[in-house]
């Protein structure tokens, strides 16, 4: 899948299908984005190899938004995600948010616990739990925003003084002339940036609490369980004078968490400094589950899972991205080693706009 809204072919070699064929029960809870997110027809039970599907997106029967419309119809559209956002920075105050018990983050936690207790027909279980947050709109219940010590929030990476050495769409976003997000980020005050960052970290606090609830249930179980925690992208949060995500291959977007715990992890609290890629997750999960890895799967075993912590699977790692909403379409490819990062953009249909940095940032 090379962009949001691109349907994924339901192939037999998808990770959950391979695990289900090997006797695992499979469940999907939360945000999936395997079809156009707001399409009227969304995946249901049995799709993509998942026995059980509980989604937060779209208007499918049994989904989060349908349930919200039934239980609190007056609040269902309180945080409707306008795109492009109508508010500067898509920033909401705590009093404008949904109550904790109605928030999608809590819903995902509740549904994941219910799915685990169901144990997908009491088989060995593979469960994919995906929280929509942290994400714009930047809105979080007050309790979680209050947990964030504002004095410890890192300072923003300042915007460039001269944008001429960067691809043109960088400055377009900063000046509010981006094709999707027409907001003048150059006018955002430091107080507004601080509120955005506080709400974002507050969303993470909310997710941490739900993960803790899920882990409490798992730890009460007598089955060995491997837990992998990661994210699909980061957030610029005002760094470099930019916001959201997109074709801006700064580390704020590219370097995402990857934490492994539980069964198969031999080195507690160890940190792997060598680069890995998210394509390694499928190979690692299949190997630990004792399921054959299909030859078309390009990932390798994650260090510390069946290999030493010092294993270096890659000399270079690769990130590719396409922006089909631009005219002409824009693309970026980033290659990085332990010391260097090289990003090549094709802005304005011309290849060769290059940005390289020592000790990538």
Express each pLDDT in 231-250 by its tens digit: 999 999 999 999 999 899 99
Is 94 in contact with 75 (CB distance < 8 Å)? no
Is 254 in contact with 319 (CB distance < 8 Å)? yes
Statement: residue 36 has pLDDT above 80 = no
Tens-digit pLDDT profile for residues 81-137: 667 778 889 999 877 888 999 999 999 999 999 999 988 778 899 999 999 999 988
The mean of the pLDDT values for the chain is: 87
Alpha carbon 253 to its chain centroid, in Å, reads 10
What is the rounded end-to-end Cα distance, in angstroms, of the chain?
26
In terms of Cα–Cα distance, which of 155, 145, 159, 157 is closest to 187?
Answer: 159
């Amino acid at each position: 899948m090379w962009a949001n809204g691109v349907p994924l072919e339901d192939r037999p070699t998808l990770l959950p299908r391979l695990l289900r064929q090997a006797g695992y029960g499979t469940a999907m809870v939360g945000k999936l984005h395997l079809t156009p997110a707001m399409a009227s027809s969304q995946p249901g039970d049995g799709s993509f190899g998942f026995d059980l599907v509980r989604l937060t997106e779209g208007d499918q029967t049994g989904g989060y938004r349908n349930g919200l419309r039934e239980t609190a119809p007056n609040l269902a559209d309180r945080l409707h995600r306008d795109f492009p956002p109508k508010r500067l920075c898509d920033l909401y105050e705590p009093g404008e948010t949904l109550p904790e018990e109605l928030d999608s983050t809590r819903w995902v936690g509740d549904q994941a616990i219910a799915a685990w207790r169901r144990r997908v027909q009491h088989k060995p279980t593979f469960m994919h739990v995906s929280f929509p947050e942290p994400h714009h709109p930047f809105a979080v219940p007050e309790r979680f925003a209050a947990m964030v010590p504002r004095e410890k929030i890192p300072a923003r990476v300042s915007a460039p003084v001269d944008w001429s050495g960067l691809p043109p769409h960088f400055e377009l976003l900063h000046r509010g002339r981006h094709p999707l997000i027409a907001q003048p980020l150059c006018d955002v005050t430091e107080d507004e940036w601080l509120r955005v960052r506080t709400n974002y970290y507050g969303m993470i606090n909310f997710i941490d609490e739900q993960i803790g609830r899920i882990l409490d249930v798992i730890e009460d179980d007598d089955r060995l369980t491997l837990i992998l925690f990661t994210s699909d992208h980061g957030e610029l949060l005002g760094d470099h004078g930019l916001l959201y995500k997109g074709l801006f291959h700064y580390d704020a977007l590219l370097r995402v968490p990857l934490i492994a715990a539980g069964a198969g992890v031999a080195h507690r609290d160890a940190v792997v400094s060598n680069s890995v890629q998210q394509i390694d997750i499928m190979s690692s999960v299949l190997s630990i589950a004792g399921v054959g890895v299909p030859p078309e799967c390009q990932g390798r075993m994650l260090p510390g899972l069946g290999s030493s912590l010092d294993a270096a699977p890659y000399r270079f790692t690769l990130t590719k991205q396409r922006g089909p909403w631009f005219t002409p379409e824009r693309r970026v490819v980033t290659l990085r080693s332990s010391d260097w990062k090289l990003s090549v953009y094709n802005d304005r249909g011309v290849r060769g706009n290059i940005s390289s940095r020592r000790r990538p940032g």
